[in-house]
Amino acid sequence: MEIIRDPAEMQQRALTWKKAGLSLGFVPTMGYLHEGHLRLVDEARGRCRRTVVSLFVNPMQFGPSEDLDRYPRDEAGDLAKLEQRGVDAVFIPSQEAMYPEGFETIVETLNLPNHLCGVRRKGHFRGVTTVVLKLFLCVTPDVAVFGEKDYQQFLVIRRMTADLNLPIEVVGVPTIRESDGLALSSRNVFLSPEDRLRSTAIYRALVTARDMVRRGETDAVTVRNEMLRILEAAQGRVDYVAVVHPQSLVELEVIQGQAHAALAVFFGSTRLIDNMRLIG
Amino acid sequence: MEIIRDPAEMQQRALTWKKAGLSLGFVPTMGYLHEGHLRLVDEARGRCRRTVVSLFVNPMQFGPSEDLDRYPRDEAGDLAKLEQRGVDAVFIPSQEAMYPEGFETIVETLNLPNHLCGVRRKGHFRGVTTVVLKLFLCVTPDVAVFGEKDYQQFLVIRRMTADLNLPIEVVGVPTIRESDGLALSSRNVFLSPEDRLRSTAIYRALVTARDMVRRGETDAVTVRNEMLRILEAAQGRVDYVAVVHPQSLVELEVIQGQAHAALAVFFGSTRLIDNMRLIG
């Protein structure tokens, strides 16, 4: 497994593979890898002859009051997992390589961030699209794989990729969960044992919503209120809970055709997000 | 000479050349080609084994009150000139291919547009960087050639290219002028015979400024005032005249080291821009 830190060297490596006719799959990550990330790697490996994973904690997608400083890191552990999983190359650019002196270019989707996390985390998706475009241009993959746990991020990146004519297939992989339903996340390590138990309310709220809709409930407010009740009963501090259209992310009043539930909840000081298709 | 209208087909064509080890030069244009454009083509041909020119009048870089509707077009004439000049392929995407239903992604440099034309033409450079990135991703050139007549545009694109890790060398070509000094521009056709004569004041103002600085003038206001005087004496309606740092475009008070003059002036309803290095 190669470790590449220089963007130009990464481009050269990818071009070598391209010239040899080898398809390239890519999994961008912020590191501190868990089984959710590794399933994305498996997906990329299943689709392509070569697989690259990037490790880069992107400061541009964190707000000034967010958890950039405490975001967990474990490069050695990550490399061991990726080697074991059969990855061909790991791209680990430095902050200086990604955001050199005088850097001033941003990439942004104008509509999708006006919903859900985008409203609460101003500038977050600008940071995501900017870094992902840069990583795409360094790695030049044929396929890029993202987790559907970050559902809005997946939609934003798919939109950006299409809008910019990038010849990349953006693939989403269903969320991997603990046995009690909690979605895997690098941030789960911050939960106290008590909050870890309480956080199972997230999955309960989502499944309850889906069951309500399956049983015929079409009023989005009723569904949302039940989710709120479950989360607050578990002492979750709700950032948002929404029933939205799964493509536009516009909030629904009436559930018919397609609907998706998305939420962000704090347990202690840790903000967790999750989502689930309700119907369609 | 190939004519390619589909972005994906353009990407395939470029990839074929890349695999064959043929370097690719690119000249993006809005068509209605004059000798200035054709010098850019010569530059690209001199540097690369294959040359692509794009013809695309980009609506996103025109403001609502600007001249998109009357911007001149002559596809047949352009193709004849490019064939004659030895271009390998012309990329002519449709509006629909470039901005399909639901398009919402923009690319922007945050600082450089806060000067000169960027201040007067809100959103103009966002339109330029967005379309040029898209064209770059369709054509995937090794070298891209721009005219220094649009000096701020050249700086913005060079900045964007570096910031996004695009493996493209951005080359600027000195402005081509008529024998009386007027910079070649597709918009010159709009000038009445009287305004065409008056517009020579632009070159006179720039050369006068350069001569003043060469003779030791270091006060930017004095230089700027003399340029204003020359332009207004010719009945030019000045949009801006500025003496700036040639990289940051920040306006100078004292001229020392490096300085660049840039201006935009209306003659009749036609807005002309030009610029010149004063020193350094």
Q: Any CB–CB contact under 8 A between B184 and chain A?
A: no
* Residue in B106, B110, B167 closest to A110 by CB: B106
Q: In A, which residues are within 8 Å of B134 by CB distance?
A: 164-165
Query: What is the residue-wise DSSP string for A79-125?
Result: HHHHHHTT-SEEE---HHHHS-TT--EEEEESSGGGSHHHHHSTTHH
N-terminal to C-terminal alpha carbon distance within chain A: 41
pLDDT category, A211, cuts 50, 70, 90? very high
Taking the CA of residue B263 and the nearest CA in chain A, the distance in Å comes to: 24
How many beta-carbon pairs under 8 angstroms link A with B?
76
Q: Residue B7: its chain A contacts at CB < 8 A?
A: 165
CB contact under 8 A, A105 and B7: no
| Interface touch B165/A18, C-beta < 8 Å | no
Across the interface, of A11, A108, A134, the residue whose CB is closest to B164 is A134
Q: Is A245 on the interface with B (CB under 8 A)?
A: no
Cβ neighbour number for residue A46 with a 10 Å cutoff: 11
- How deeply is B112 buried, as exposed, middle or buried, from its count of CB atoms within 10 A (0-12, 13-18, 19+)? buried
Burial (0-12, 13-18, 19+ Cβ within 10 Å), A261: buried
Q: Are the Cβ atoms of B160 and A112 closer than 8 angstroms? A: no
Q: By C-alpha distance, which of B148, B151, B137, B144 is closest to B170?
A: B144
Contacts of A110 in chain B (CB under 8 A): 104-106
CB B280 within 8 A of CB B248: no
pLDDT band at A130 (very low <50, low <70, confident <90, very high): very high
- CB-CB neighbors (< 8 A) of A100 in chain B: 162
Ordered structural domains, chain A, with CATH: 2-173 (3.40.50.620), 186-279 (3.30.1300.10)
**Interface with chain A: mutation pick from B16, B106, B136, B245, highest number of A CBs within 10 Å:** B106
Indicate the average pLDDT of chain B: 97
E strand or H helix at A264, and its extent? strand A259-267
Between chains, do B106 and A108 touch, taking CB under 8 Å as contact?
yes
pLDDT category at A103 given cuts 50, 70, 90 is: very high
For chain A, positions 79-138, list CB contacts with chain B under 8 A. 100, 102-112, 129, 133-134, 137-138
The arithmetic mean of pLDDT across residues B170-194, rounded, is 97
- Return the residue matching tokens 């201006």: B263
Residue B183 per-residue DSSP state: B
> Do A261 and A241 meet the contact criterion of CB atoms below 8 Å apart?
yes
B250 in contact with chain A, both atoms CB, cutoff 8 A: no
Query: Which helix (H) or strand (E) element contains residue B9?
Result: helix B7-19
Degrees, nearest 5: CA angle A43-A49-A51 = 55
Structural tokens at position A57: 């904690």
Query: Min CA distance, B18 vs chain A (Å)?
Result: 8
Q: What is the mean pLDDT of residues B200-213?
A: 98
Residue A81: CB atoms within 10 Å: 18
pLDDT digits (tens, 9 = 90+) for B13-29: 999 999 999 999 999 99
**Rg for chain A (alpha carbons), in Å?**
19
B47 by Cβ neighbours in 10 Å (0-12 / 13-18 / 19+) ranks as: middle
Region for residue B235 given its phi and psi (left: phi exceeds 0; alpha: psi -120 to 50; beta: otherwise) = left
Catalytic residue among B34, B37, B245, B260: B37
CA geometry: angle at A205 spanning A200 and A206, to 5°?
Answer: 105
- The amino acid sitting at A204 is R
Which of B244, B256, B254, B277 minimizes the C-alpha distance to B119? B244
Smallest CA-to-CA distance from B114 within B237, B223, B242, B6 is with: B242
List of E strands, chain B = 2-4, 24-29, 50-55, 89-91, 105-109, 143-147, 169-173, 237-244, 259-267, 270-279
Chain centroid offset of residue A222 CA? 28
Residue B37 is among the residues annotated as catalytic for this protein: yes
| Residue A155 binned pLDDT confidence (cut-offs 50, 70, 90) | very high
Six token digits for residue A160: 């950006």
Task: Give the one of B15, B105, B129 whose C-beta lies nearest to A163's C-beta.
Answer: B105
Out of A7, A159, A164, name the one closest to residue B137 (CB).
Answer: A164
Q: What is the pLDDT of residues B146-173, one digit of tens each?
A: 999 999 999 999 999 999 999 999 999 9
* Strands in B135-231 per DSSP E: 143-147, 169-173
B54 interfaces chain A, CB cutoff of 8 Å: no
Q: What is the pLDDT of residue B195?
A: 98
Residues B246-276: pLDDT tens digits?
Answer: 999 999 999 999 999 999 999 999 999 999 9
pLDDT tens digit sequence for A79-98: 999 999 999 999 999 999 99
| Angle at B236 (CA atoms; ends B232, B241), nearest 5 degrees | 75
Mean pLDDT to the nearest integer, A147-165: 98
Residue A104 has its nearest CB partner, among B19, B134, B159, at B159
